[in-house]
Amino acid sequence: MVLTEDQRYILEKALKGHSMVVLGQSGTGKSFLVKEIAKELRKTGKLVQITATIGIASVNIGSKTVHSWSGISDGRYSNDS
């Protein structure tokens, strides 16, 4: 696959150190873009952590949910747990 002009613009911003949240309708290339950003950042020696808000999205990008990654689980447990 080839990045669109908009996706290339976002990739350039990411490579310059901008933080971002990637949002959009299904099928718009969000997972592809996120994986490309991570790949390019890792080429520069950066440590990259990718998270998603829901399980299926995390599977699509080969990552974890933000809850799992941060160690706060999914909210089913009390503060003491």
pLDDT digits (tens, 9 = 90+) for 32-79: 999 999 999 999 999 998 888 888 888 888 898 888 888 887 667 666
- State the pTM of this model: 0.78
The pLDDT score that the predictor gives to residue 45 is: 94
Which ranges constitute the DSSP H helices of 23-65?
30-43, 55-60
For residue 3, pLDDT over 70 is answered with yes
H or E element: which one contains 52? Answer: strand 51-52
